[in-house]
Amino acid sequence: MGRVRSYLIAGNWKMHTLRAEAVDLARRVAEHARSVPAVRVMVAPPFPWLLPVAEALAGSPVALGAQDVHWERKGAYTGAVSPEMLKDAGCEYVIVGHSERRQYFGETDETVFRKLQAAISVGLRPVLCVGETLDQRQAGWTLKVIRRQLWGALEGLTPPAAFTIAYEPVWAIGTGVPAHPEQAQEVHAFIRAEVARIWNASVGLHVLYGGSVTPDNVEGFLRAPDVDGALVGGASLKAEAFCTILDIAQNLSAGRSG
Catalytic residues: 98, 168
Q: Counting contacts by CB under 6 A, is residue 232 touching ligand 13P?
A: yes
Side chain identity at residue 77, one-letter code: Y
Quick check: 97 binds ligand 13P (CB under 6 A)?
Answer: no
Per CB under 6 A, 213 contacts ligand 13P:
yes
Rounded CA-CA distance 138/160 in Å is 34
Minimum CB separation from ligand 13P for residue 156, in Å? 25
The CA distances from residue 171 to 101, 140, 202, 211, in Å, are: 15, 14, 32, 8
Distance of alpha carbon 236 from alpha carbon 243, whole angstroms: 8
What is the footprint of ligand 13P within residues 143-172 (CB under 6 A)? 168
Quick check: 17 binds ligand 13P (CB under 6 A)? no
Backbone angles phi, psi at 174, to 5 degrees: 70, 15
Interaxial angle between packed helices 109-121 and 142-154, expressed in degrees from 0 to 180 and rounded to the nearest 10 = 40
By C-beta, is 59 or 176 nearer to ligand 13P? 176
Q: Which is nearer to ligand 13P, 99 or 185 (CB)?
A: 99
Closest distance to ligand 13P from the beta carbon of 5 (Å): 23
- Residue 8 bridge partners (DSSP): 40, 229
The reply on whether position 181 binds ligand 13P by CB under 6 A is: no
258/56 Cα distance (integer angstroms): 33
- Where does this chain touch ligand 13P (CB under 6 A) — which range of 27-35, 107-115, 211-219, 241-249? 211-219
- Nearer Cβ to ligand 13P, position 149 or 199? 149
Size of the site for ligand 13P (CB under 6 A): 14
DSSP 8-state assignment for residue 198: H
Residues contacting 186, CB < 8 A, separation 6+: none
DSSP E strands in 187-237: the ranges are 204-210, 229-232
- Is 111 a binding residue for ligand 13P by CB under 6 A? The answer is no
Residue 205 Cβ vs ligand 13P, minimum distance, rounded to whole Å: 18
| Residues ≥6 apart with Cβ < 8 Å to 5 | 256, 257, 258
Single residue of 83, 211, 215, 229 touching ligand 13P by CB under 6 A: 211
* Site residues, ligand 13P (CB under 6 A): 12, 98, 168, 173-174, 210-213, 231-235
